[in-house]
């Protein structure tokens, strides 16, 4: 089945220790998104890529970086995680960035910062 | 600013009907989505409305009034597995999704 895969599902890191989260998709979608979601809150868009064009949300901290080496893979790097970065990180894809922008989500990576 | 409002939590009884409301104020409108999210899992697509009116899909229906900036999700014949959060999201003029915080629906036997 075509899908969005995220690894790992659960990640524990120490305060200040860099961490990388990965996302891959077999849907061949042009657009990939990274969201941060904290408990009982709306998903917060961090970045999105249209093909290789990178779009950084204005309020995404510099501590968060992203890479998309090819259509299938996308990575989220957190350079120096703080306690406030503990959250669920969701990767999503969509076929286009135009209207009817249905997004398909991976299962998420739950990040714990000790 | 852009804003999506939905109730934080609702409770309903198994077998009953529940309506979850969503009001929005966004810069432009290119459609409204409803997603279901079970605890600890990713959101999954339920419905999309871009024209006024009711879209029915099995036990779930979604309604849109663009002039009122209002939508609702109607769930019929509630089952225990419907216990989840329901997220309303609006596609703005830049085709970005603006998300609500979700409505946690609790189903009681």
How do residues B53-68 score in pLDDT, each as one tens digit?
999 999 999 999 999 9
A9 pLDDT band, cuts 50/70/90, is: very high
What CA–CA distances, in Å, run from B102 to A43, B36, B70, B99?
A: 9, 9, 15, 8
* Chain A residue closest in CA terms to B100: A42
Task: Show residues of chain A in contact with B102, CB under 8 Å.
Answer: 40, 42
CA atoms of B108 and B78, how far apart (whole Å): 10
As a residue count, chain A comes to: 114
**Structure token digits, residue A98:** 């135009």
Predicted confidence at residue A2, as pLDDT, reads 64
pLDDT of residue A23 exceeding 70: yes
3-state secondary structure of B80: helix
pLDDT of residue A101 exceeding 80: no
Predicted confidence at residue A96, as pLDDT, reads 79
Sign of CA dihedral A31, A32, A38, A44: negative
- Which range, of A94-103, B14-23, B89-98, averages the lowest pLDDT? A94-103
CA atoms of A84 and A29, how far apart (whole Å): 31
Predicted confidence at residue B1, as pLDDT, reads 74
User: Which of A97, A100, A106 is the closest to B42 by Cβ?
Assistant: A106
pLDDT of residue B11 exceeding 70: yes
Predicted confidence at residue A1, as pLDDT, reads 66
Q: What is the pLDDT of residues A52-90, one digit of tens each?
A: 888 888 889 999 999 999 999 999 999 999 999 999 999
Residue A45 β-bridge partners: A35
**B97·A45 Cβ contact <8 A:** yes
pLDDT of residue A99 exceeding 70: no
**B31·A99 Cβ contact <8 A:** yes
CA atoms of A30 and B89, how far apart (whole Å): 21
Please answer whether residues B75 and B60 qualify as being in contact, where contact means their C-beta atoms are separated by less than 8 angstroms: yes
- The mean pLDDT of chain B is 94
**B42·A97 Cβ contact <8 A:** no
CA atoms of A48 and A90, how far apart (whole Å): 12
Query: How close does chain A come to B15, measured CA to CA in Å?
Result: 26
Task: Show residues of chain B in contact with A3, CB under 8 Å.
Answer: none
């Amino acid at each position: 089945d075509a899908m969005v895969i995220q690894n790992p599902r659960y990640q524990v890191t120490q305060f200040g220790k860099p961490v990388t989260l990965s996302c891959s998709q077999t849907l061949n979608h042009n657009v990939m998104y990274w969201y941060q979601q904290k408990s009982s809150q709306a998903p917060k868009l961090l970045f999105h890529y249209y093909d290789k064009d990178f779009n950084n949300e204005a309020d995404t901290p510099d501590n968060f970086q992203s890479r998309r080496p090819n259509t299938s893979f996308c990575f989220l790097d957190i350079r120096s995680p703080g306690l406030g970065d503990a959250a669920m990180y969701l990767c999503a894809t969509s076929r286009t960035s135009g209207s009817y922008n249905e997004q398909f989500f991976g299962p998420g990576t739950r990040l714990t910062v000790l | 600013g852009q804003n999506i409002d939905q109730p934080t939590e609702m409770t309903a009884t198994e077998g009953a009907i529940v309506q979850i409301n969503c009001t929005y104020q966004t810069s432009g409108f290119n459609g409204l989505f409803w997603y279901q999210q079970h605890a600890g899992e990713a959101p999954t697509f339920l419905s999309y409305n871009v024209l006024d009116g009711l879209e029915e899909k099995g036990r779930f229906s979604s309604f849109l009034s663009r002039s009122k900036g209002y939508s609702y999700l109607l769930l019929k014949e509630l089952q225990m597995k419907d216990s989840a959060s329901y997220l309303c999201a609006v596609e703005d003029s830049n085709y970005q999704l603006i998300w609500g915080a979700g409505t946690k629906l609790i189903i009681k036997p």
